[in-house]
């Protein structure tokens, strides 16, 4: 129960101090620190991540694409062996097994459209068990990991009629 509370708080704010976290879950700093270290050691917490609004920074953002992949599972290992090969590519940011017409959903990053196109045609599409691919380039991010990146639209209140 305490562990779940800590995890939920860390999901929303990984930079929270152990002191503040202990206060929020009504526990000691030492106990919270031990729980976090245990979660990290057991690979339940893998990494702490920052969400960046690429449009607000001066550095050129990488190009992202969503790739849907239809594959023929291997007899012995099913989808896992193919997934392990694909995950090793540096361009692959996220990789999911999905239901529906396609088997994998892959998020890739590159410096240019050409880099991603080359990656798909020279690395992914030519893998032995790949049947077909569909590539969709991301044009703009509105929300990432539950965080709305920019809300410039002025919220207007509806008039209350009496």
As a whole number of angstroms, the distance between CA 67 and CA 137 comes to 8
11 and 20 Cβ atoms separated by less than 8 Å: no
Q: Which is higher by pLDDT, 77 or 104?
A: 104
Domain with CATH 3.30.70.920 in the chain: 56-139
pLDDT, one tens digit per residue, over 53-77 is: 877 887 788 899 999 999 999 888 8
Which two three-digit tokens encode residue 36?
A: 């976090």
* pLDDT at 38 (0 to 100): 96
As a whole number of angstroms, the distance between CA 126 and CA 26 comes to 55
Report whether pLDDT(156) > 80.
Answer: no
Given pLDDT bands bounded at 50, 70 and 90, which one contains residue 159?
low
Into which CATH architecture does domain 56-139 fall? 2-Layer Sandwich (3.30)
Under DSSP, is residue 55 helix (H, G, I), strand (E, B) or coil?
helix
Report whether pLDDT(119) > 90.
Answer: yes
Q: Which of 83, 65, 69 has the alpha carbon at shortest distance from 134?
A: 69
* pLDDT at 155 (0 to 100): 55
Report whether pLDDT(151) > 70.
Answer: no
Q: Which is higher by pLDDT, 56 or 121?
A: 121
CA triple 57-62-64, angle to 5 deg: 125
The number of beta carbons lying within 10 Å of the beta carbon of residue 69 is: 25
Given pLDDT bands bounded at 50, 70 and 90, which one contains residue 104?
very high
CATH class of the 2-41 domain in this structure: mainly alpha
Task: Show the beta-strand stretches assigned E in 111-161.
Answer: 130-137, 143-144, 147-148
Report whether pLDDT(162) > 70.
Answer: no
CA dist list (Å): 64 to 44, 84, 91, 134, 155: 27, 21, 9, 14, 30
116 and 63 Cβ atoms separated by less than 8 Å: yes
Domain with CATH 1.10.10 in the chain: 2-41
């Amino acid at each position: 129960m305490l562990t779940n509370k800590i995890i939920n708080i860390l999901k929303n704010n990984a930079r929270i101090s152990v002191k503040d976290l202990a206060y929020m879950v009504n526990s000691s700093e030492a106990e919270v620190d031990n729980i976090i270290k245990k979660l990290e050691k057991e690979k339940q917490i893998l990494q702490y991540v920052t969400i960046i609004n690429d449009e607000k920074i001066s550095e050129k953002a990488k190009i992202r694409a969503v790739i849907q992949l239809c594959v023929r599972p291997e007899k012995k290992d099913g989808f896992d062996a193919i997934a392990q090969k694909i995950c090793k590519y540096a361009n692959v940011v996220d990789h999911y097994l999905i239901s529906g017409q396609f088997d994998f959903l892959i998020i890739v990053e590159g410096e240019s459209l050409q880099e991603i196109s080359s990656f798909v045609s020279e690395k992914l599409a030519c893998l032995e068990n790949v049947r077909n691919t569909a590539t969709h380039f991301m044009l703009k991010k509105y929300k990432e990991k539950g965080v709305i990146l920019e809300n410039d639209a002025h919220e207007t209140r509806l008039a209350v009629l009496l």
